[in-house]
Structure 1
Amino acid sequence: MLLGLAANRLHHRSDDAALFTFLRACEQGIRELNIGFHAVGRTYDAIAAAEMLKGHKGLVRYPYGREGGLMKLVAEVVGMPDEGRVLDGAIYLTDPVDPSSIFPEALALKRQCVIHGKPFISTVASARDWVEMERIHAGLPRDRHADSLHSYASQTLALIAHDAMKPAMLEFAAANFELLSRYGRRVGTGTTGQKLNEMAWSKGWPAGTLWVSRYNSGPLGGDAQIADLVLEGRCQRAIFFEDPHVARQHEADIQLLERAVTTKTLDVVCMTSPAVVQRWCDAAVRRA
C-alpha cells in the first residue's frame, strides 16, 4: 500500500504533535504492512528530524507544498500509471485554522479520494483506525491499544449523506445493521435520519423507538448541531457520504462539521467513501 502523507505545521512542531502521536501508535503496523508514504517536504523533514520510521524504505520525500508537493499527491490519487505513481489514499492531518488547509490542492486531495473510493484520512484517530483495520484484513492480531476506538457501546455514530448519496447510505446501513446497532447512540440529519429509522423498523427494531436521533436537515443547521456534539466529545465516529460533484448551498455548514472533526483529531474518526466504510465494517466484524 502507498499513501500520500502531509501534516499542517501545528501537527509536527512539537514532540507531542499529531503526526508523531500517529507514528508512535502505528509504527509497528506501518512496518508490518509495509505501508509506503509519499511525504510532502516539511512533513518528511519533521519525521526525519524526530528519527521516526528509521530505515523504512517506503518513506519518500516529495517537494514542499509551496513547490507543488501536495498537487503531485492529488495527481497520484487520480493515478499516473504510465509513471508507476498511483496512491491508494492519503493521510492529511489538518489544522482547521491553518489557511493552507483550504488551498485548492488541499480540497482537491480530499475530493479525488472521495471520487476514486480511496481513504482520505484527516485525523489521528482516523489514521490509527485505518492502520488497525488493514492489520485485521492482513490477518494480524488485534492491537489492544486500539480498543478504545472500537468501544461501540459507549460511543455515538453520526450517519450523514448528501441527497445523491442517500440511497447508498440506506443500502450500507441495511447491509451492516447489526454492527451499526452496537453503537450506544446513532445520530443523523433530517431526511437521512428518517429514512434510516424506517429501514431499522423494517429490520425489526422496536416500532416507535428511534434507531437514529434526528437533527435538522443540513441546510437548516443539522451539520452544525452534529459538529457541536463532536466538539463536546459526544460523537466519536462520523460516516459522511459526500457527493463531490454537486455544489451545495450549505457548503459552509459542511465545512464547519469537517473543521469540528479535525479539531478533535485525537478522538474522532471520519470516513467519507462508501467503499472505504464497507472495508472498515468488514474488518470491524472480524476484529470483534
Structure 2
Amino acid sequence: MRMGLAANALHHDHDDAALFRWLRACGQGIRELDLHLHAVGRTHAAIERSDCLASYSGLLRYPYGREGGLMKLVAEVVGMHAPQRTLDGAIYLIDPVDPSSIFPEAVALKRQCVIHQKPFISTVASARDWVEMERLQAGLAPDPGANELHALEQQTIALIAHDAMKPQMMAYAADHFDVLARFARRVATGTTGQQLNELAWSRGWPQGENWVERYQSGPMGGDAQIADLVLERRCQRAIFFEDPHVARQHEADIQLLERAVTTVTDDAVCMTSPRVAARWADAARKRAAQL
C-alpha cells in the first residue's frame, strides 16, 4: 500500500508536532502494514531528523513543495503507468491558517482523492483511525491504543451530503445502519437529516423521535453550525460525501467545516467518500466483534 504524505510546517516544526504524534502512535501499525509513505521534501526531512520510523525502508523522499512535490502526489493519486507510482490515497496534515493549504495543488490533491474514491486524510485523528482500519482489514488484532478513538457509543457523528450525493448517503446509512446506530448522537444538515430520520423510522425507530438531530440546510448555515460542534469537541466524526464536480454557492460554509476539522486535528475524524466510509464501517464491526 502506498500513501502520499505531507504536513504543513506547524505540524513538524517541534518534537511534539502533529506529524510526530501520529508516527509515535502508529509507527508499529505502519510497519505491520508495510505502508510505503511517499513524503514531500520538508515532511521527509523532518521525519529523518526525528527518531520516528528509524531505518524504515518504506519512507520515500519526494521533491520539496516548491519543486513540485505535492503536484507529483496529485498525479500519482490519479495513477501513473508504473504501479509503484500509483498512490492509494494521501495523508496531508493541514494547518488551516497556512496559505499553502489552499494552493491549487493542495486543493487538487483532495479533489482527486474524492473523485477516485481514495482516502484523503487531513487530521491526526483521521490518520490514526485509518491505520487502525487497515490493520483490522489485514486481519490484525485491535490496537488497545486506539480504544478511545473507537468508543463510538461516546461520540457524535455528523452525516453530510451534497445534493448529488444524497442517494449515496441514504444507501450508506441503510447498509451500515447498525454501526451508525452505535453513536451516542447523530447530526446532519436539513434535507439529509430528514431523509435519514425517515430511513430510521422505516427500520423501526420510534415514529416522531429523531434518529438524527437536524441543523439548518447547508446553504442556510448548517455546515457552520456543525463546524461549531466540531470546534467545541462535541462532534468527533464527520462523514461528508462531497460532489467534486459541481460549484456550490455556499462553498465558504463547506470550507468552514473542513477548516474546523483540521483545527482540532487530534480530535476530529473526517471521511469524504462512500468507498472509504464503507471500508471503515466494516472495520468497526470487526473491531467490535474482537473486543
What is the CA–CA distance in structure 2 between the aligned matches of 1:47 and 1:249, rounded to whole Å?
40
Q: Which residue identity is paired with 1:119? A: P
SS of the aligned residue for 1:172 comes to helix
- Segments of 5+ residues of structure 1 without an aligned counterpart are none
Q: Does 1:258 align with 2:261?
A: no
Instruction: State the partner residue of 2:40.
Output: 40
Instruction: State the partner residue of 2:24.
Output: 24
Please give the residue correspondences for 1:83-162 in structure 2 after superposition, counting only pairs within 5 Å.
84-162=84-162
What is the CA–CA distance in structure 1 between the aligned matches of 2:139 and 2:124, rounded to whole Å?
23
Q: Which residue identity is paired with 2:191? A: T
What is the CA–CA distance in structure 1 between the aligned matches of 2:15 and 2:150, rounded to whole Å?
27
CA shift, 1:82, in A, is: 3.9
Q: Which residue identity is paired with 2:268? A: V
What is the CA–CA distance in structure 2 between the aligned matches of 1:217 and 1:81, rounded to whole Å?
42
SS of the aligned residue for 2:110 comes to helix
Q: Which residue identity is paired with 2:182? A: R
- Segments of 5+ residues of structure 2 without an aligned counterpart are none
Instruction: State the partner residue of 2:276.
Output: 276
Please give the residue correspondences for 1:215-254 in structure 2 after superposition, counting only pairs within 5 Å.
215-254=215-254
Q: Does 1:56 align with 2:68?
A: no
Q: State the superposition RMSD in angstroms.
A: 0.7
SS of the aligned residue for 1:266 comes to coil
What is the CA–CA distance in structure 2 between the aligned matches of 1:119 and 1:199, rounded to whole Å?
27
Q: Does 1:204 align with 2:204?
A: yes
User: Could you give the per-residue CA deviations for residues 4-57 of structure 1, whole angstroms, max 9, x where no partner exists?
Assistant: 000000000011100000000000000000000110000000000013211111
Q: Which residue identity is paired with 1:222? A: G
SS of the aligned residue for 1:34 comes to coil
User: Could you give the per-residue CA deviations for residues 213-252 of structure 1, whole angstroms, max 9, x where no partner exists?
Assistant: 0000000000000000000010000000000000000000
What is the CA–CA distance in structure 2 between the aligned matches of 1:83 and 1:143, rounded to whole Å?
30
What is the CA–CA distance in structure 2 between the aligned matches of 1:56 and 1:186, rounded to whole Å?
40
What is the CA–CA distance in structure 2 between the aligned matches of 1:157 and 1:105, rounded to whole Å?
29
What is the CA–CA distance in structure 2 between the aligned matches of 1:183 and 1:82, rounded to whole Å?
42
Aligned residues: 288
- The runs of at least 4 consecutive aligned structure 1 residues that moved more than 3 Å come to none
SS of the aligned residue for 2:15 comes to coil
TM-score normalised to structure 2 length: 0.98
What is the CA–CA distance in structure 1 between the aligned matches of 2:112 and 2:250, rounded to whole Å?
21
TM-score normalised to structure 1 length: 0.99
What is the CA–CA distance in structure 2 between the aligned matches of 1:281 and 1:153, rounded to whole Å?
14
